Amino acid sequence: MTARTISRISAATAAVLVVATVIALFTWHRSPRSYVLEFPVAKSLYVGNGVDVLGVKVGTVTAIDAGPDKVRVTVRVDGDQKIPADAKAAIVSPSLVPVRSISIFPAYTGGPALPDGAVIPGSRTAVPAEWDDIKTQLVRLETAVGPNGANRNGAVGHLLNATSANLNGEGPDINRTIKDMSEAMATLSDNRGDIFATVRNLQVFTAALESSDKQVDRFNERLADVADLLADNRGDLAAVLKDLDRTFQILRTFIAENRGSTTRALDGLAETLALLSRNRQKVADILQAAPTTLSNFYNIYDPDVPALTGSLSAVNFESPAVFICSTLYSLGGTPEACEAALSPIAKFFKIGQPPVGILPYVRDGSTRIDNSTLTDPDDIARAGGKARTTSHRQPTGESKTNAPETGAPTTSANTAASVPSFGSSLNLLGRLLTGGTS
């Protein structure tokens, strides 16, 4: 045998082995797989019954072994049909004919598959309800509600009669109630987002309470202390409440007897408040100026005379030109307007201060008025024809003296003068203006 022949034989042998291996693998992959299913009972199930997945037959029952507390059913499934590792099984009746089959669910969609020879335990299997069981339960129900049971004294009959009487003619209301309940459920369904948000907020609230457990405990302790304090002083508290009750009774009687007067008073108060509200700026101005006005009035009033004392300090008229121009500037005027206003009256600006004044009699803080300063006979007569001493209010810290004075001229607004009479002051003012004796 030549080497060439040996080489050909070796190649053919290798090819045969490869083909056999492929066929064996394919046959092994396609070979059926067996599983064991455990059921509590297996009525009307026989060897040869079908096994399906989603109604499609994929295998058959190959063996049924009855045990003391369960039945082990062996099934064979096609090799190309994979079963999920967590599959469940149930005995079903596909028709009225008592021929049953086994349904395995769910269908395989991916993931681990149930290996060959695996067992599906009784916790993952189910059997249909038998007619005998249903009939037995119906018999029990009939006995329980029958004449030998709950209806021995006619209780069931009374219930049915009362229900019939209550529901008679209430069909539209029941229908409307069912519709309202349906709409309410629909509303709850449409607002389920808000409902769950509320639940989440409640969860946040409870979590906050849990995190503030110590503060809640302290609050409860303080509340308990308050309760104890009220309990210890319940007599005093009862007395206060009784007095308060009597007070409210008196108040109620007063209001009832004076309802008209109270109404008129409240109406008047409302009008007054409305008036004050409309003139609140004027009220504010009065309140701002009143303290200064009262203080000035106190300073110029002399109760010993009695008379108002003081002197006019017309500082704005010391320079009339400045007064006129500043007034024009405050109104938005210009230097040209000031010059035009001053030109016609420039000749009158030669005087430094107008010869006008009131209260020409001077008191510089002393307690004496000299009659030598009085020129009017009426004033001299009122003064008694001689120098008189009067007691005037002195600032704190200053002493009073009875030393006579000759009367110094007034130099500031703080220097007060004693006015014998308003008429004599007017007479003197007239003589000053006409160039008479000063």
What is the domain partition of the chain in residue ranges?
Answer: 31-129, 299-313+354-438, 315-350
The bridge status of strand 88-92 relative to strand 33-39 is unpaired
**pLDDT of amino acid 342:** 77
CB 370 within 8 A of CB 379: no
CB 368 within 8 A of CB 332: no
120: helix, coil or strand?
Answer: strand
Rg (CA), the chain: 61
Nearest to 413, CA basis, from 351, 355, 362: 362
Q: What is the rounded CA–CA span in Å between residue 144 and residue 152?
A: 10
pLDDT tens, position by position, 151-181: 667 777 778 888 888 888 888 888 899 999 9
**Quick check: pTM over 0.85?**
no
Give 11's Cβ-side CA count (13 Å radius).
6
Question: How far is it, in rounded angstroms, from Cα 366 to Cα 387?
Answer: 13
What does each of the 438 residues of the chain score in pLDDT, given as a tens digit? Answer: 566 666 667 677 777 676 666 665 555 456 789 999 999 988 888 999 999 998 899 999 999 999 888 999 999 999 888 999 999 999 988 776 667 899 999 999 989 999 999 999 999 999 888 777 888 888 888 787 777 776 667 777 778 888 888 888 888 888 899 999 999 999 888 888 888 899 999 999 888 888 888 888 898 999 999 999 988 998 888 999 999 999 999 988 988 888 888 888 889 999 999 998 999 898 888 888 888 888 888 888 777 777 777 766 665 556 677 777 888 877 778 888 888 877 777 666 555 444 444 444 444 444 444 444 445 555 555 445 444 444 444 444 333 333 333 333 333 333 333 333 444 444 444 444 444 444
Do 106 and 86 meet the contact criterion of CB atoms below 8 Å apart? no
| The pairing of beta strand 119-120 with beta strand 71-77 | unpaired
Distance of CA 112 to the CA centre of its chain: 56
CA atoms within 13 A on the CB side of 182: 6
Q: Are 361 and 417 in contact (CB under 8 A)?
A: yes
Q: Which two tokens stand for residue 411?
A: 């130099």
Q: Are 373 and 407 contacting, i.e. CB atoms less than 8 angstroms apart?
A: yes
